[in-house]
Amino acid sequence: MPVVLAAVGFAVAGAVSGSTVAYGLAAAALVLGAISWPIVGRRFGSWGYAEREDDLLVRRGVMFARLSVVPYGRMQFIDVTAGPLERSFGLATVRLHTAAAATDARIPGLEREEAARLRDSLAELGEAQAAGL
């Protein structure tokens, strides 16, 4: 979407000023957007999570795949955040915090309702698992 807006802005600037440079920039923005579209799709598809009985699996990475296993009993708190761009698309990020900083995990690009459901589910499972310690 930002690439399209940039291309439209450059095209309007070219029409107003009569500058061929602005038209060239509009074409370059469209080409850049077309080239980067498959990369964005792969990055989006590389994120995933699975709720299991005792832990949460979080998968990510395009070139270097990473799988994090976060036991429910080790979770200290769960954040749901949404920046301005995420809010404009109705998305949110769930961030899990544990005692070890290296095991913190995040799950971006969830719909707000799914992020809230996941937060509540993880908090409930975390309390149940921590109570059994």
Does the pLDDT of residue 129 top 90, yes or no? no
Q: What is the pLDDT of residue 62?
A: 81
Q: DSSP letter string over 80-120? A: EE--HHHHHTTEEEEEEEESSGGG-EEEEEEEHHHHHHHHH
For residue 61, the 8-state DSSP code is -
Tell me the one-letter amino acid at 25. L
Look at the domain 47-131 and name its fold: PH-domain like (2.30.29)
Report pLDDT digits (tens) over 52-109.
988 889 888 888 888 888 888 888 888 999 999 889 999 999 998 887 766 668 898 8
Q: Sorting pLDDT into bands at 50, 70 and 90, what band is 114?
A: very high
Are the CB atoms for 76 and 99 separated by under 8 Å? yes
All residues at 6 or more sequence positions from 14 whose CB lies less than 8 Å from its CB, including other chains: 20, 21, 22, 23, 25, 26
DSSP H or E segment with residue 30: helix 20-46
Please give the structure tokens belonging to residue 115: 């992020």
CB atoms within 10 A of CB 107: 21
**CA 97 to CA 88: how far, in whole Å?**
26
Tell me the one-letter amino acid at 44. F
Report pLDDT digits (tens) over 16-49.
666 677 677 777 777 777 777 777 777 767 788 9
Domain ranges across the chain: 2-43, 47-131
Q: What is the pLDDT of residue 118?
A: 92
